[in-house]
Amino acid sequence: MSGFFIKQMTTLPFTGYVFLTVVLIVAILAGFFLIKNLTKLVINSVLGLLILVFVNYFHVLEAAGKPDIPLTPLTFLICLFGGIPGALLLVLLQLLNFPL
């Protein structure tokens, strides 16, 4: 009766080890590409925010007779998620008198 409660150890066949190795390699590669792309997204976001600050600090839009872009949570999020294209979109919208 005591043998009934003893767990039996099972061994994986060779194909199981191959499958686990392939899954591990795919997971490592996916993590590498995610970190690589995440770094690009962070750099793009920081550059977009720097463009927005640069445009406001040096009053670039006043040369066109327009007011500076207000730093609101909406404009911050547009630059954060849009990066450089988001900052350029905000400048274009401000030049076209579209208030944010």
The whole-chain average pLDDT of the chain stands at: 86
Do residues 97 and 65 make contact, with C-beta atoms less than 8 angstroms apart? Answer: no
The letter for the amino acid at 88 is L
Q: Where are the domains positioned within the chain?
A: 44-100
Identify the band that residue 13 occupies on the pLDDT scale cut at 50, 70 and 90. confident
Which pTM value belongs to this model? 0.67
**Dihedral (Cα; 77, 83, 84, 90), 10-degree rounding:** -20
Q: What are 14-41's pLDDT values in tens digits?
A: 777 888 888 899 999 998 888 889 989 9
Instruction: For residues 98 and 96, give the distance between their C-alpha atoms in angstroms, rounded to a whole number.
Output: 6
Q: What are 60-71's pLDDT values in tens digits?
A: 999 989 999 999
What is the gyration radius of the CA atoms in the chain, in angstroms? 27
pLDDT for 17 equals 82
